Structure 1
Amino acid sequence: MTQPQMTGTPVAEFQGRSVLAARSDGRFVVVQAQASDAAALEAVQRACFPDLSESELATERHFLSHQAHFPAGQLAVLDTESGRLVGSSSDFQMRVDFAHYAHPYLEETGDNLFTTHDPHGDWLYGADIGVHPDVRGQGLATLLYGARHDLIRRLNLRGHVAGAMPKGYGAVCSTLSIEQYVMEVVRNERADPVLSVQLKRGYGVWGIIPDYLDDDSCCNHGVFIVWRNREYKET
C-alpha cells in the first residue's frame, strides 16, 4: 500500500482548492468539501453504508446544511487522476458532558443537519467518515483522520469524539454482550472492521451507546470514543 503523507497546512492546490493532506504519490488529496460536492458526497455515503437506515443516511440536503453550519469541518478526498470524489468526513464542534454521553446519533447531530454545531464548543464531533468501496485499503481514511486532527490543532480544541459503529458485532450478538465484544476488541483478542482501526489511531473507548442508530451490522450500538489533543492550550 502506498503510504499517505499528511501536512498541517495547505502546501498545494488541486482544482483551485487548497490541499490539506495528500498521499505521497499525489494520487489522492484531501480538500475542504464545498456545496457543489453535495450530490457526490451523498453517492459516497450510500456506497459506504448500505445497511444504514434511510432516515439516518446523509443526503444532498444534509451535506448542504453541514456547509451552512461549519464548512471547515467538511472534508473530501479527490482522485487527482479522474477528479472523482471518493471519500469524505463530516464534523462539527460541540461541548461534551462525559457523564451523559449516550445520545442517539440523530439527536446528537440535529437530525443529521448539524444544527447542534456550537462555534464555542471545545471538542470536534466526528459524525461521519467514509471511503468508497472501490478505493478502500489505499490509506485514504488515514489521510482524513490526519486532516481532522490538524483541524483540531489549528482550532485549539481538546480533541475528537465520535460514536464508532462496531460493525462486526451483529455477527456474534447472539453469543456475546456488546460489553464483552468491545472488551475483546480493546484487548486485541478480536478484530472489528471499524473500532479496531480507530483504536490503532490513538482513540480510547469511553463507553457504550445503546440505540445509537438503526443498523443491523452493529445491532444499533455505538461506542463512544475519544482522541485527546496533546497540544491543547488552556485560554
Structure 2
Amino acid sequence: MYKELYLMVDHIPQKMLIRNYTIADFEQLIEVQKLAFPPPFAADLWWTKEQIIEHVKRFSTGAICAEVNGEIIGSMTGLIIDSKQYGEQHQWSQVTDNGYIRNHNPFGDTLYVVDICVVPVYRKWGVGKWLMQSMYETVVQMRLSRLLGGGRMPGYAAKYEQFSIPPQKYVENVLSGEWTDPVISFMLRCGRMPVAIAENYLDDEESRHHAVIMEWRNPFM
C-alpha cells in the first residue's frame, strides 16, 4: 500500500503518507507504541522487533503506518483468520498468537485487527480513521467478508468504580450517547459495529480486561 492524502490541521493542509511498514521502521514503530499506550497499559504488550519482523514476513499487506514529514505517527496491523476457528469470547493472545501472527491464514475470511495506535498529539487529525479506512480497502480488495477486532474500553474502570456496573451496561450507555469512550466512540465513528463483549481479552486495567468485539462488513460481499 502506498497513498498520499492531506489532513486539515488548523485549516492548513498537511500531507500524510500511508504505506506498508518494513523491518527498518521498527524503532519508530516501538516508539509510537510507547507514546500511544502509556502506563497503566502493560509495557510488555508494546511491539518488539521480533514481532514486527513476523508482521512483515507473514502478512506485509496488513502492516501499515502513517507518516508525516518522514516521521511515523501511527500504525495498524492485521492478520487473516478463519472466523469459524474462534468464538466471540476469544482472547487477544489467542487470536493474534501473542502479537506474532504466526497463525495468519491466507485462506481465511476475516481480517482481524491486531493493533491500531496513533501518537496522542496527532489524534485529532483523523489519522486513526484513515488507517482504518485503508484496512477496509484491503478487506474489499482481498474479497474478505469483514474486518473484526477487539476494542479497548479505557473509560470502563472509572465508571465501574463509580457505579459498579457490568461491561454490557457501560457499552449500552456509550451506544445511547449518555457516555463516551475514547476507543469505542472512535470505532463507531469509523463504521465499526459491536457484536460481543469479551472477558479477559487483554491485560488492560483501564478496561478491566474487557473488550468490545467490533466488526465492519464488506458491503460488496
TM-score normalized with structure 2 length: 0.91
Asked if 1:217 corresponds to 2:206, the answer is yes
Asked if 1:183 corresponds to 2:166, the answer is no
From the superposition, tell whether residues 21 and 208 of structure 1 become closer, same or farther in structure 2 (CA, over 3 Å): farther
What RMSD in Å do the two structures reach over aligned CA positions?
1.6
**Contact residue 4 and residue 15 of structure 2 kept, 8 A:** no
Q: How many residues align?
A: 213
- 2:125 is paired with a residue of what secondary structure? coil
- 1:173 is paired with a residue of what secondary structure? helix
Q: How far apart, CA to CA, are the structure 2 residues paired with 1:111 and 1:139?
A: 28
- 2:124 is paired with a residue of what secondary structure? coil
Equivalent position to 1:112, from 95, 99, 104: 99
- 1:46 is paired with a residue of what secondary structure? helix
1:149-160 residue pairs with structure 2 within 5 A? 149-160=136-147
- 1:197 is paired with a residue of what secondary structure? helix
Match of 1:91 in 2: 78
- 2:67 is paired with a residue of what secondary structure? strand
Q: How far apart, CA to CA, are the structure 2 residues paired with 1:161 and 1:207?
A: 11
Structure 1 residue 105: Cα displacement: 0.9
Structure 1 residue 203: Cα displacement: 1.2
2:5 corresponds to which letter in structure 1?
A: A
Q: How far apart, CA to CA, are the structure 2 residues paired with 1:26 and 1:227?
A: 28
Q: How far apart, CA to CA, are the structure 2 residues paired with 1:99 and 1:136?
A: 31
Equivalent position to 2:29, from 34, 38, 41: 41
Structure 1 residue 67: Cα displacement: 0.7
Identity %: 25
Match of 1:170 in 2: 157
Structure 1 residue ranges (4+ consecutive) displaced by more than 4 angstroms after TM superposition:
none
Q: How far apart, CA to CA, are the structure 2 residues paired with 1:222 and 1:172?
A: 15
Asked if 1:194 corresponds to 2:177, the answer is no
**Contact residue 66 and residue 113 of structure 1 kept, 8 A:** yes
**Contact residue 153 and residue 207 of structure 2 kept, 8 A:** yes
CA deviation vs aligned residue, 1:28-57 (integer Å, no higher than 9, x gap): 111111111112111101111113223322
Structure 1 residue 26: Cα displacement: 4.9
**Contact residue 35 and residue 120 of structure 2 kept, 8 A:** yes
Match of 2:215 in 1: 226
2:3 corresponds to which letter in structure 1?
A: L
- 1:69 is paired with a residue of what secondary structure? helix
TM-score normalized with structure 1 length: 0.86
- 1:207 is paired with a residue of what secondary structure? strand
**Unaligned ranges ≥5, structure 1:** 1-17
Q: How far apart, CA to CA, are the structure 2 residues paired with 1:146 and 1:112?
A: 22
